[in-house]
Chain A
């Protein structure tokens, strides 16, 4: 007898239980129904007047109020990015039966080119049905008048005053501030789309992108009553938009423009930093471009021109230009050499014009074919003697070299508040094994000693390292945001951010190297700088390759530019309490020292009366 059922079912009892539960269900149904009924009675009787008002033959429209984008100023309050009012033609898709027809009819009255229409169609997909989508920007007063007179023919289309971003200084700040452009679905995926209702623009590059959330503000909305032709009759309620924060950058405009003009038609980059804080005083990448072109949606022709320009104006050389530094790296190698006792201030080496790694036959040539004769470390820096540094590098070994270079920030991101930077490369034996498939040779080490070989840095890193050197080891993270001004007027200043300092075993080594650098201009390779009223510590150099990585379109394509006439230059001044540290790369000419001179003069003489 199967015993899986120990108790017999009492069917009558089960049925009775069920009937009870059925009653419970009926009770639940009644209560719920009553709830619904009372809710309906509430809405349709008690609130009838209220809701009828809201839905009279006039339509209720919800208009988003886009917030005013924050302005951008330089450290002295000079305007760098602003919003200018413009009249734009906008369409609300929800109110238009056939958009293509509507556009054709609009063409009869206003000029519309194909790129306008294409851009509009793209925007259409990315907006909601009841958003207003711009069709044509910056109507002239005549066009505004012409449309307004005929507006009754175009329900769902209207002229709207909107703010358009403008950069009064055109190219000068293109590589710092970047630009805003028309918002697309990719952009919308990264933000809260409701906050961007009614906003057509979003930061795409540079500061505009990095600080987008502060600059944008918060959307507001107004509930308006509109009549049959869509005109606002009255405002029912309004929630004001909160404008974006105004940003003050650390850049000194006069300095930025001086650097831009000093570079003039040459390709290159200038980065100037305030050593005591890490604030960036100037950041220039030439050639630049006019960011205003991008705001409205740059037309294809202009964009192709910019993209195909072999000088790569869209490429930010200051943050992304990778080059093997050359002689400019020598002071950093020298510091390590002294500190690790691979050499001493008085040690002298004879330079015949070449160097051989002990035990090998390969000749490494000095730039001066017949050599510098007997050199100590000071003379080696002043005259930029390659042989001395080949020897020093060999004695130090790649591990020590890597260590000091990394401590000065090479091979890593600087952390600048703009993003978009490249870390460069401080080569290690492991790196070479992975990327080149071969072991590390002593010849590789000595190459790094004079800043060639696999070492790759950016102008920004160079400037930061120079600033650290100026500080005798104290390292500040470079930053561009000086302070922000909130809508309520309160100012929040950005504090400097100190990183890990470079600590020497013997601090006197700083002075040995710096002293040598002060003599580079009067006695050495830096003569082009000329004599200045203020004391300067400097170093000259020649970059081997300036490679431009086009990650966006061709991830693996690196275009090497062979340079013959080029120059690099680092300096800080005054030597004892440095106020400015600078790195200059000039790809076309030997004039880096002169460029640096102009910039330093501007800062120290014109502005600070030194």
Chain B
């Protein structure tokens, strides 16, 4: 009965679109949805263990995810041309909010990342994580691709001004993410490879200068990354502990809830940034690979949407959302397993914490919107 419901075809002729299945009626993309649900479910098991079986925290997370899911469904209903039209406005609004945060934050004692909106705190830099790709996608649809040098110049401004504001908060991790998300869009827009090479050379040659601008604790992070043993009681502690946790998981893991490293020294980071270590310890290589596979499946679903997209704006947006999603997974797993320095970025959809979850689900909502608002014939 449910099957017939799911497969019931709704025939409707309205401005050229045809709704075919329940999922399409709801504007949900089934493959992506399945990937997300599977990942989140697996994530709950890991989270439950990481929080030392505090179900209350898992409950909190369920609430966060439900809220985020609602946002996702809501955003999926909005047709992409609306997003396209409002991209610049959203970008300018986010920019404005980031400036407000900096000013207000100066009055507050150092907490420069949040705006308190009564019930919950809102992080404008999170908003910027969607706003930059949308703005860039919009911008690149104004001119033919591949983009010329002056277009890239403007694009660079669109990326670097918010990144600079983020770095001033100071939130270097987010600044890097913003830059990377912009680079993803540039990549998909077809930036010429010679630009990429010259950009790369510019970054490597200015590395010593950038080093000068880093705060003490940021330099510490990089130096400890290269050799965690140099600061085993301070910043090296997390890396050392998580490598032990992952390594001792072996192929099959120690079993759910039976991880020792993560439990004998309860660190809140085990529920947030370093949660992957719990997965590695308790589910072993199989579990880690399985997790990676789930993430790859979601990435593949995103790329599929990008491939099927029908105009430049949607293509660019979909592609960069998918690629950025994978990059944030890679950064977190790389950090936890010790191949990247500690940057304080959570594991998407699994780490405890609401703010990044909402942004992520929102972007999935936009992806679903792109996929399900396609006309059956291309323009």
User: Contact between A51 and B319 (Cβ–Cβ < 8 Å)?
Assistant: no
Please give, as numbers and ranges, the residues of chain B lying within 8 Å of A161 by CB-CB distance.
none
Expressed in whole angstroms, the Cα–Cα distance for A51 and B246 within the complex equals 8
Please give, as numbers and ranges, the residues of chain B lying within 8 Å of A223 by CB-CB distance.
232
Expressed in whole angstroms, the Cα–Cα distance for A84 and B237 within the complex equals 32
Please give, as numbers and ranges, the residues of chain A lying within 8 Å of B337 by CB-CB distance.
36, 39-40, 43
The smallest C-beta distance from B39 to any residue of chain A, in angstroms, reads 16
Interface size class of B (residues with CB under 8 A): 35 or more
Chain A: interface residue total (CB-CB under 8 A): 51
The smallest C-beta distance from B359 to any residue of chain A, in angstroms, reads 20
Q: Does B177 contact A (CB under 8 A)?
A: no
User: Contact between A55 and B187 (Cβ–Cβ < 8 Å)?
Assistant: no
Known: A10-B144, A33-B292, A47-B247. A55 touches B261 (CB 8 A): yes
The smallest C-beta distance from A325 to any residue of chain B, in angstroms, reads 46
The residue from A9, A40, A48, A94 contacting B265, defined by CB atoms under 8 A apart: A94
The residue from B146, B231, B312, B323 contacting A194, defined by CB atoms under 8 A apart: B231
User: Contact between A22 and B306 (Cβ–Cβ < 8 Å)?
Assistant: yes
The residue from A17, A35, A52 contacting B247, defined by CB atoms under 8 A apart: A52
User: Contact between B233 and A221 (Cβ–Cβ < 8 Å)?
Assistant: yes
Please give, as numbers and ranges, the residues of chain A lying within 8 Å of B292 by CB-CB distance.
33, 36-37
The smallest C-beta distance from B308 to any residue of chain A, in angstroms, reads 11
Expressed in whole angstroms, the Cα–Cα distance for A22 and B187 within the complex equals 9
Name the segment of A56-64, A391-399, A522-530, A554-562 touching the other chain: A56-64
User: Contact between A44 and B187 (Cβ–Cβ < 8 Å)?
Assistant: no
Please give, as numbers and ranges, the residues of chain A lying within 8 Å of B323 by CB-CB distance.
25, 28-29
Please give, as numbers and ranges, the residues of chain A lying within 8 Å of B289 by CB-CB distance.
37, 40
Known: A40-B337, A51-B244. A33 touches B265 (CB 8 A): no
Expressed in whole angstroms, the Cα–Cα distance for A582 and B322 within the complex equals 81
The smallest C-beta distance from B226 to any residue of chain A, in angstroms, reads 16
Contact with A along B254-282 (1 / 0, CB 8 A): 00000011001111000000000000100
Q: Say what secondary structure dominates the interface of chain B.
A: helix
The smallest C-beta distance from A512 to any residue of chain B, in angstroms, reads 59
User: Contact between B232 and A21 (Cβ–Cβ < 8 Å)?
Assistant: no
Q: Does B100 contact A (CB under 8 A)?
A: no
Contact with B along A430-470 (1 / 0, CB 8 A): 00000000000000000000000000000000000000000
The smallest C-beta distance from A578 to any residue of chain B, in angstroms, reads 49
Expressed in whole angstroms, the Cα–Cα distance for A10 and B187 within the complex equals 19
Q: Does B251 contact A (CB under 8 A)?
A: yes
Contact with A along B274-308 (1 / 0, CB 8 A): 00000010001100110010001001000100110
The smallest C-beta distance from A565 to any residue of chain B, in angstroms, reads 53
Expressed in whole angstroms, the Cα–Cα distance for A10 and B144 within the complex equals 8
Q: Does A197 contact B (CB under 8 A)?
A: yes
Q: From B327, which residue of chain A is reached at the shortest CB distance?
A: A32
User: Contact between A44 and B260 (Cβ–Cβ < 8 Å)?
Assistant: no
User: Contact between A17 and B190 (Cβ–Cβ < 8 Å)?
Assistant: yes
Q: Which 4 A-B pairs have the closest CB atoms?
A: A51-B247, A55-B248, A51-B248, A194-B234
Q: Could you give 30 example pairs across A and B, Cβ below 8 Å?
A: A10-B144, A17-B190, A18-B188, A18-B190, A18-B316, A21-B188, A21-B189, A21-B190, A22-B188, A24-B187, A25-B188, A29-B326, A32-B326, A36-B334, A36-B339, A37-B289, A37-B292, A39-B334, A39-B337, A40-B337, A43-B246, A44-B249, A44-B280, A44-B285, A51-B243, A57-B260, A62-B237, A94-B266, A129-B265, A194-B231
Query: In the complex, given contacts A14-B312, A25-B319, A43-B247, what are 7 additional A-B residue pairs having Cβ atoms less than 8 angstroms apart?
Result: A18-B190, A22-B188, A22-B306, A39-B338, A40-B280, A44-B251, A55-B244
Instruction: Point out residues on B near A: beta carbons under 8 Å.
Output: 143-146, 184, 187-190, 231-234, 237, 243-251, 260-261, 264-267, 280, 284-285, 288-289, 292, 296, 299, 303, 306-307, 312, 315-316, 319, 322-323, 326-327, 330, 333-334, 337-339, 379
Instruction: Point out residues on A near B: beta carbons under 8 Å.
Output: 5, 7-11, 14-15, 17-22, 24-26, 28-29, 32-33, 35-37, 39-41, 43-45, 47-48, 50-52, 54-55, 57, 59-60, 62, 64, 94, 129-130, 193-194, 197, 219, 221, 223
